[in-house]
Structure 1
């Protein structure tokens, strides 16, 4: 009886093995639940997510169901440079949607309100109107590379997005006094270089009673109606549950009518984080704002200060603001972070005060702009300063 000779299985070429591995991995991803696939696609840009439609018949329309639209680059530029192509792409993506849109990010670096050379405002108005009528948008980010009179004037339809929880507006403006509908679910608001009046700002904040995070970053020249004045009391009455606050120091004169610190009628019991940008210890308005806020925030956990060039301000020598903090006790403060510290006397006195009043302070981070020969003396002073906690002081 003749024995049968067993033939060896054919070995696949390297290219075929790689192709087979890709098919297997693709099949594994395809079998994942739709929510997980959507999460993966949301990590891609719109352009990359749309390209997954060529993978297979099953993948052709998966990208149209993701709840997030991001027409921007991670480094802050729009993903489609040509204006006409960007407008076409946005309308095309919106028309192909097969599910609700929850997040929208749009960065436009050639905005032109009249549409002569860049992205026209009428097109953007139409896009926002479509979103407000057809989708439960929760997060909206509108960011423009625009200056002067070309800033985008927000349409009232923005405030018809009743599902909003997170709103970022960059280089936008209000050239009217809109009657806002209440955005009761809004928890995070960032206004970056916008043009707005104090009256409109306070009205916007008052119609967002759930706001926990608020950033106001703008120049005083951006104030519409510069004769308007307010107070810190009026500001914080509109922020009853604020936890995370970032303010540009230049706008502190809006809310500080005089340089005598006055206690707020109610404490900011929810505030845990405060960041003061472009701060100067020679600016009386900024010092008053800082002193009142610190004294009124018993549960503050972290303070960040970005110090501005002191030569830009007239020297303010009054110690009223420091005396205002003499009885304060920062029981919950854990961290102090100061950037562009120049070792001027009022700056150093502030650090000393924090060290002496914060029993739970764990870390003080100071980024200096002093000359090399001044550093040893500054470090010596800081290390000898009395403190009420075993705090780590990091000076760079």
Structure 2
């Protein structure tokens, strides 16, 4: 058989002959403006970009005027002029978004919008309304930011996105009466700097029966209710949760609103918990951890990102409270926990007490990772000796290293 060489004159294009699904995957890896530019390659490529199922639209991707390349250009113009130029960029972005949506020839499954937004923005309202009516959105990400504390208020049409499986909201707000039906397919939810009332939050979580991953990074003043949600109210809304991420600012809200001696709700599916801005001496962090360990018997990993301003007087008073509190949870048994990680571990007494608490109640614990800011090897060695001499339920590996 004689192999025939395909000449360049025949116009053979290996990429063009790839299956449509592979071409869409490649185009999804490009910024939308770069994907649109492929339309000039040939007639066959003219509308290829209009069928990609993922759209990422960002204000930073809008072509900026040359004067913005000059360092500190904003210091040489008035506030009014800065506002006018910022508005021009926003108009360019919205024009590009509407052009993209009008030229669509296929469904949109993933949509990301990153830009500055305030409490009212009818252009974003229109985008959400269009998506809710015309596309089976499965993954939605709104990364909004602004120079004021007023977050973008989500419209009612947002709740019509009933096929959502993955939702990220940052600097948004919704405070509607709890009458919407929720998102039955949602498996992952992230709320960051999002203003929401207690009733709306609990109703939302209660109506996401498939929710497996939750990230709640909300400040106390972003919970728009005089009555705050408590730990058990939150846990009752999350029957199948597997991954939980939150931080000390929201933990304070949950613990303050909790009722003493309230019976725990068991989260039997929870495997991984991460707490950012964790504090052992604020009177909230350690009680939350104690309740968590009792309520989540199947935990496999605990990750804490410590952020504590220590004071020797505070430490001595908290140590006694810490010991008494942990004694009340002596019945905790974490049979499935295999890893504990604490970042910015300082080796103070309340931290040590919690680590020892975990060591004594985790028969299958394999590794404890303590990332410290200590650069003194003698201090690290002393810390290791202290922990190795503590009672342990398993032959665990303890790693102490500088982070």
Shared fold per TM-score greater than 0.5? yes
SS at match of 1:78: helix
Q: Equivalent of 2:19, from 24, 30, 33? A: 33
Deviation at 1:258, TM superposition (A): 5.3
Q: Equivalent of 1:390, from 364, 380, 395? A: 395
Deviation at 1:175, TM superposition (A): 4.6
Instruction: Identify the range of structure 1 (376-385 vs 283-292) with the bigger mean alpha-carbon deviation.
Output: 376-385
Q: Is residue 181 of structure 1 aligned with residue 181 of structure 2?
A: yes
- How many Å separate the matches in 1 of 2:254 and 2:210? 22
Q: Equivalent of 1:99, from 71, 82, 106? A: 106
Deviation at 1:371, TM superposition (A): 5.5
Residue equivalent to 1:57: 43
Call closer, same or farther: CA 1:186–1:378 in 2, change over 3 Å: same
Aligned length: 363
Q: Is the 8 A contact 1:147 1:171 kept in 2?
A: no
Alignment of 1:373-384 (within 5 A): 374-384=379-389
Instruction: Identify the range of structure 1 (271-280 vs 366-375) with the bigger mean alpha-carbon deviation.
Output: 366-375
Instruction: Identify the range of structure 1 (298-307 vs 42-51) with the bigger mean alpha-carbon deviation.
Output: 42-51
Residue equivalent to 1:117: none
Question: What do residues 349-371 of structure 1 show as CA deviations (whole Å, max 9, x unaligned)?
Answer: 11112222222222222111236
Alignment of 1:1-396 (within 5 A): 27-72=13-58, 78-80=60-62, 82-108=89-115, 110-113=116-119, 121-146=121-146, 148-177=148-177, 179-225=179-225, 227-256=226-255, 257=257, 260=260, 262-264=262-264, 266-311=265-310, 316=318, 317-318=320-321, 319-370=323-374, 372=376, 374-396=379-401
Q: Is the 8 A contact 2:305 2:343 kept in 1?
A: yes
Deviation at 1:138, TM superposition (A): 0.4
Query: What value does the CA root-mean-square deviation take over the aligned residues?
Result: 2.4
Q: Is the 8 A contact 2:290 2:329 kept in 1?
A: yes
Question: What do residues 220-248 of structure 1 show as CA deviations (whole Å, max 9, x unaligned)?
Answer: 122212x2133322111111110101111
Q: Is the 8 A contact 1:213 1:242 kept in 2?
A: yes
Q: Is the 8 A contact 1:334 1:362 kept in 2?
A: yes
Deviation at 1:147, TM superposition (A): 5.0
Q: Answer with 1 or 2: which has the greater Rg.
A: 1
Residue segments in structure 2 that go unaligned for 5+ positions in a row: 1-6, 65-88
Question: What do residues 185-242 of structure 1 show as CA deviations (whole Å, max 9, x unaligned)?
Answer: 11110000111111111011111111111110021122212x2133322111111110
Question: What do residues 142-170 of structure 1 show as CA deviations (whole Å, max 9, x unaligned)?
Answer: 01112544310111111110100011000
Residue equivalent to 1:13: none
Residue equivalent to 2:3: none
TM-score, scaled relative to structure 2: 0.84
Call closer, same or farther: CA 1:394–1:216 in 2, change over 3 Å: same
Residue equivalent to 1:11: none
Q: Is the 8 A contact 2:175 2:200 kept in 1?
A: no
- How many Å separate the matches in 2 of 1:345 and 1:370? 15
